[in-house]
């Protein structure tokens, strides 16, 4: 085989195949190649066999190699220079005619400034019967493509091609073939292989053309149909207007109402609206209102009810798996399931179901799991779950719906929740019911009275529907942070279940079983990447959080894992990263809290009280001071009226009974007394700080400090009696979290200790007081220890 020595010409946007004739605009590089080819032709060396000098072809030739996206082809086309001239734009150009394909070899020296290479011609094998059959099939597909594209003149040219290799190389003109595919054709000498590739590509392209044409036809037909229907509808509307005949769509609504599974009274109301729709003109705005109402009625699941789970043990297992603690709520749900199962087994589930539903109010501080508990209850019951957010709702129509006379009227949130659930017995969570507001638009809490009354909600009427809706099978769960802001009439219709917060052990269990796996997933970490020890979780819960719930604990764990992920990403640590109690400070910084018993207790006039806020229980400090000046009492710290009265009662009691307590009271009559409750930006009120104020004043006047590990709560009367207070469980949990070891409570609150977790009572020394003199004697640091022990023995005996 003759080896050719040819100058190289690179084409960036065109792939030249044998048989193609193309014009090429000349730039500096291409002009050098053309000039070198012409010079070699004049000297008789172009295309000479290597080492012979014998001229093989006097015509100027060069090797055209594709250069697509910076990549050079390994095979080029041997092309003859057919003509040199200028394009219509005036730019110099050359017309090249490709005659064969050749393999690019090594570079050699040659005349001119062009790049010369050795080229090995590639032999095209003769066509056999299979090749000719492929050519016929490809020609058929190619003609179909050209027909689809409307290239009728090219069809005749293709039909005259009989050489399979020529037919295959003609694909270089195809605009639907990409450059890399044309390069593949150039590098393939075997005609059968080229035709096989082209047949596959051509069929795929033909399929695309047929789909595109079908889409165009469908769009065109749809547009024609739409225009035709529009004209016909306008004509039909005009005819009906003249005849006063039925408006369109009424028959369809009538058939839908008749087919729907509706209660009898609802069906009658819907058919009345259909009759009204049939008599109403299409131009009337009332037509749209009626259709919207009918759509709402037909979308409600009037007779759809899910089957409750009957396995009580399995339901309790679901609740236990999702939440730690909260035994009161879990017991109430299990009781509801048990009673409902017995009623069903005895056939007592009457239509209407008066009183068969339940309304539970979950009241507790933020982060204790009230909202998530609703989802767990729905899963335990195997019911649908819908959450209705009531925080900030001020419009009564949001609950009961709008009257249909208003523009944009719609059903209330209760009806929309039933529609969203798709059944008449879902679990509906009324979230933040204590934050419902009221203004000139009405009181949403008042609208909830009928919804949440088990004796009335089987005939609930929404203002938009104006038909009775049976809500007796709905399990309503209401959540609130405090029960005080819920209207008494509404609270009376709900069964109150208090969620007072978690102990430290419960927090650790929740973090280990729930929060930590979720935080690992959010941080894209696994147990193989980081291991958080249980003592580290306990350290975070004790030293970095002081809350009733677990939200701050969750954020702290997430912060630790984010820092671990950063260390792994930067190579500062290798998996698995061990996080122990000693490592927590490295990730979270210095502890935010310390036990109150570690506080300096040497200052008289400071006592530690216990209080209940919307965020759960908390410790409350009372500070007292005396000074020279006009006798009187100063009170600071944003105190409410009841708390101010407690301070005045404390002063009056000490002035009357100071001698009995061994407390000098001259400073109360000769100077000014100042009582302050720190955290002055937070409003405070309530009578339970009475004993704390009395103790603080007694400590100040006697000069004996209050023991820092002691917390107290209770209302004090003018005669010194310690009266009961509320929130005992939350207050003891707060004392436990704060590190107190001794708590003084009113004796009449002794039954409330049954609700306090055993683990908390084991760590706290609880004293029960009848008189404030006992509180003073127990709380002051240098009081008679023997007396305190005797009192304690009496308490144990009682």
Kindly tell me if the per-residue pLDDT of 785 is higher than 50: no
Q: pLDDT at position 55, please?
A: 40
Tens of pLDDT, residue by residue over 646-673, are: 999 999 999 888 888 888 888 888 889 9
Kindly tell me if the per-residue pLDDT of 48 is higher than 50: no
Q: pLDDT at position 742, please?
A: 94
H or E element, residue 522: helix 516-522
DSSP-derived secondary structure letter, 598: G
Would you place residue 241 in the very low, low, confident or very high pLDDT band (cuts 50, 70, 90)?
low
Would you place residue 54 in the very low, low, confident or very high pLDDT band (cuts 50, 70, 90)?
very low
Q: pLDDT at position 139, please?
A: 83
Is 193 inside a domain boundary?
Answer: no
Is 792 inside a domain boundary?
Answer: yes
Lowest mean pLDDT among 160-169, 310-319, 779-788: 779-788
CATH number (domain holding residue 739): 3.30.230.10
Residue 405 sits in the same domain as residue 513: no
Mean local confidence (pLDDT), 145-169: 80
Residue 553 sits in the same domain as residue 680: no
- Domain ends where: 543, 566, 588? 588
Mean local confidence (pLDDT), 207-236: 80
Q: pLDDT at position 705, please?
A: 92
Would you place residue 336 in the very low, low, confident or very high pLDDT band (cuts 50, 70, 90)?
confident
Residue 519 sits in the same domain as residue 606: no
Q: pLDDT at position 772, please?
A: 93
- Alpha-carbon gap, residue 648 to 670, rounded angstroms: 16
Mean local confidence (pLDDT), 286-300: 89
Query: For residue 422, with 0-12 CB atoms within 10 Å meaning exposed, 13-18 middle and 19 or more buried, which class applies?
Result: middle
Residue 101 sits in the same domain as residue 33: yes
CB 395 within 8 A of CB 408: no
Average pLDDT, the chain: 83
Would you place residue 351 in the very low, low, confident or very high pLDDT band (cuts 50, 70, 90)?
very low
Residue 572 sits in the same domain as residue 610: no
Q: pLDDT at position 58, please?
A: 63
Q: pLDDT at position 143, please?
A: 83
Q: pLDDT at position 793, please?
A: 45
Q: pLDDT at position 251, please?
A: 58
Mean local confidence (pLDDT), 717-733: 90
Is 442 inside a domain boundary?
Answer: yes
- Alpha-carbon gap, residue 117 to 101, rounded angstroms: 14
Give CA separation, 184 vs 20, 99, 190, 425, 446, in Å: 16, 17, 11, 67, 79
Kindly tell me if the per-residue pLDDT of 349 is higher than 70: no
Range ranked top by mean pLDDT from 175-179, 212-216, 688-692:
688-692
CATH number (domain holding residue 435): 3.40.50.300
Would you place residue 786 in the very low, low, confident or very high pLDDT band (cuts 50, 70, 90)?
very low
Q: pLDDT at position 794, please?
A: 45
Would you place residue 162 in the very low, low, confident or very high pLDDT band (cuts 50, 70, 90)?
confident
Query: For residue 243, with 0-12 CB atoms within 10 Å meaning exposed, 13-18 middle and 19 or more buried, which class applies?
Result: exposed
Residue 291 sits in the same domain as residue 330: no
Kindly tell me if the per-residue pLDDT of 389 is higher than 80: yes
Is 219 inside a domain boundary?
Answer: no
Pairing of strands 722-723, 715-716: antiparallel
Residue 667 sits in the same domain as residue 551: no
Work out how many domains the chain is built from and give that number.
5
CB 119 within 8 A of CB 74: no
Beta bridge partners of 6: 117
Mean local confidence (pLDDT), 97-117: 83
- Domain ends where: 535, 557, 588? 588
- Domain ends where: 545, 569, 588? 588
Tens of pLDDT, residue by residue over 118-130, are: 888 888 888 888 8
Mean local confidence (pLDDT), 81-100: 86
Q: pLDDT at position 297, please?
A: 92
Higher-confidence residue of 479 and 2: namely 479
Q: pLDDT at position 563, please?
A: 93
Would you place residue 345 in the very low, low, confident or very high pLDDT band (cuts 50, 70, 90)?
confident
Q: pLDDT at position 777, please?
A: 92
Residue 660 sits in the same domain as residue 722: yes
CB 437 within 8 A of CB 450: no
Catalytic annotation, residues: 688, 731
Q: pLDDT at position 558, please?
A: 94
Is 237 inside a domain boundary?
Answer: no
Binding-site residue positions for ATP: 364-371
Q: pLDDT at position 248, please?
A: 46
Q: pLDDT at position 797, please?
A: 41
CATH number (domain holding residue 553): 1.10.8.60
Mean local confidence (pLDDT), 21-33: 84
Q: Could you tell me what percent of the chain has a pLDDT over 70?
A: 91
Residue 638 sits in the same domain as residue 744: yes
Containing domain of residue 430, as a range? 312-498
- Alpha-carbon gap, residue 430 to 424, rounded angstroms: 16
Residue 577 sits in the same domain as residue 615: no
Tens of pLDDT, residue by residue over 390-404, are: 888 888 888 888 888
Q: pLDDT at position 320, please?
A: 86
Pairing of strands 495-498, 765-769: unpaired
Higher-confidence residue of 122 and 240: namely 122
Is 190 inside a domain boundary?
Answer: no
Is 168 inside a domain boundary?
Answer: no
Is 221 inside a domain boundary?
Answer: no
Q: Locate the DSSP E strands across 42-156.
A: 61-68, 71-72, 75-86, 92-108, 116-121
The residue written with tokens 């603080």 in the block is 696
Lowest mean pLDDT among 279-288, 299-308, 396-405, 520-529: 279-288
pTM: 0.59
Q: pLDDT at position 417, please?
A: 93
- Alpha-carbon gap, residue 486 to 478, rounded angstroms: 11
Residue 399 sits in the same domain as residue 323: yes
CATH number (domain holding residue 94): 2.30.130.40
Residue 604 sits in the same domain as residue 582: no
């Amino acid at each position: 085989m003759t080896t050719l020595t040819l100058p190289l010409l690179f084409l960036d946007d065109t792939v030249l195949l044998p048989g193609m004739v193309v014009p090429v605009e000349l730039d500096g590089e291409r002009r050098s190649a053309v000039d070198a080819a012409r010079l070699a032709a004049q000297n008789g060396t172009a295309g000479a066999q290597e080492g012979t000098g014998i001229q093989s072809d006097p015509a100027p030739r060069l090797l055209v190699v594709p250069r697509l996206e910076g990549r050079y082809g390994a095979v080029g086309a041997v092309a003859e220079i057919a003509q040199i001239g200028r394009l219509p734009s005036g730019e110099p150009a050359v017309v090249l005619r490709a005659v064969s394909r050749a393999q690019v070899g090594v570079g050699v020296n040659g005349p001119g400034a062009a790049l010369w290479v050795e080229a090995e011609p590639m032999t095209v094998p003769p066509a056999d019967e299979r090749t000719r059959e492929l050519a016929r099939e490809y020609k058929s597909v190619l003609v179909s493509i050209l027909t689809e594209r409307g290239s009728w003149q090219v069809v005749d040219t293709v039909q005259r091609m009989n050489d399979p290799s020529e037919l295959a190389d003609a694909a270089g003109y195809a605009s639907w073939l990409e450059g890399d595919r044309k390069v593949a054709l150039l590098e393939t000498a075997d005609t059968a292989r080229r035709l096989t590739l082209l047949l596959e590509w051509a069929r795929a392209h033909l399929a695309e053309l047929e789909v595109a044409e079908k889409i165009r036809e469908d769009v065109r037909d749809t547009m024609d149909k739409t225009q035709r229907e529009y004209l016909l509808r306008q004509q039909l509307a005009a005819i009906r207007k003249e005849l006063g005949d039925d408006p369109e769509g009424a028959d369809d609504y009538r058939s839908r109402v008749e087919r729907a599974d509706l209660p009898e009274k609802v069906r009658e109301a819907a058919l009345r609206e259909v009759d009204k729709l049939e008599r109403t003109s299409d131009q009337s705005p009332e037509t749209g209102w009626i259709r919207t109402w009918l759509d709402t009625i037909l979308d409600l699941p009037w007779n759809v009810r899910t089957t409750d789970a009957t396995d009580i043990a399995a339901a309790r297992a679901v609740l236990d798996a999702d939440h730690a603690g909260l035994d009161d709520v879990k017991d109430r749900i299990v009781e509801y399931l048990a009673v409902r199962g017995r009623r069903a087994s005895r056939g007592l589930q009457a239509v209407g179901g008066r009183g068969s539903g339940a309304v539970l109010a979950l009241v507790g501080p933020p982060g204790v799991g009230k909202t998530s508990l609703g989802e767990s209850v729905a899963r335990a019951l195997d019911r649908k779950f819908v959450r209705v957010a009531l925080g900030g709702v001020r419009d009564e129509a949001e609950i009961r719906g709008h009257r249909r006379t208003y523009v944009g009227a719609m059903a209330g949130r209760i009806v929309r929740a039933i529609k969203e659930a798709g059944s008449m017995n879902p679990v509906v969570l009324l979230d933040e019911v204590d934050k419902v507001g009221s203004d000139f638009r009405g009181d949403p809490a008042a609208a909830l009275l009928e919804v949440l009354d088990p004796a009335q909600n089987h005939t609930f009427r929404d203002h938009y529907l104006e038909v009775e809706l049976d809500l007796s099978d709905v399990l309503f769960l209401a959540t609130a942070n405090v029960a005080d802001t819920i209207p008494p009439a509404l609270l009376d219709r709900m069964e109150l279940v208090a969620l007072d917060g978690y102990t430290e052990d419960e927090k650790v269990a929740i973090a280990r079983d729930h929060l930590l796996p979720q935080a690992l997933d959010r941080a894209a970490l696994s147990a193989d990447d980081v291991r958080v020890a249980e003592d580290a979780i306990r350290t975070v819960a004790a030293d970095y959080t002081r809350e009733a719930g677990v939200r701050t604990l969750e954020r702290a764990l997430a912060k630790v894992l984010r820092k671990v992920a950063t260390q792994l990403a930067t190579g500062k640590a290798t998996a698995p990263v061990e996080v122990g109690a000693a490592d927590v400070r490295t990730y979270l910084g210095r502890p935010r809290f310390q036990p109150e018993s570690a506080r300096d207790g040497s200052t008289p006039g400071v006592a530690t009280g216990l209080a209940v806020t919307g965020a759960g229980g908390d410790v409350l400090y009372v500070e007292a001071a005396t000074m020279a000046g006009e006798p009187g009492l100063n009170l600071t710290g944003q105190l409410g009226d009841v708390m101010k009265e407690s301070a005045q009662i404390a002063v009056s009691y000490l002035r009357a009974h100071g001698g009995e307590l061994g407390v000098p009271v001259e400073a109360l009559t000769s100077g000014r007394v100042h009582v302050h409750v720190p955290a002055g930006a937070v409003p405070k009120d309530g009578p339970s700080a009475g004993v704390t104020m009395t103790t603080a004043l007694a400590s100040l006047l006697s000069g004996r400090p209050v023991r820092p590990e002691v917390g107290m709560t209770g209302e004090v009367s003018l005669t010194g009696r310690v009266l009961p207070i509320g929130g005992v469980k939350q207050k003891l949990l707060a004392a436990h979290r704060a590190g107190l070891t001794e708590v003084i409570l009113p004796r009449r609150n002794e039954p409330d200790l049954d609700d306090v977790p055993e683990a908390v009572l084991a760590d706290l020394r609880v004293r029960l007081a009848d008189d404030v003199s006992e509180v003073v004697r127990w709380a002051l640091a240098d009081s008679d220890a023997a007396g305190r022990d005797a009192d304690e023995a009496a308490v144990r005996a009682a």
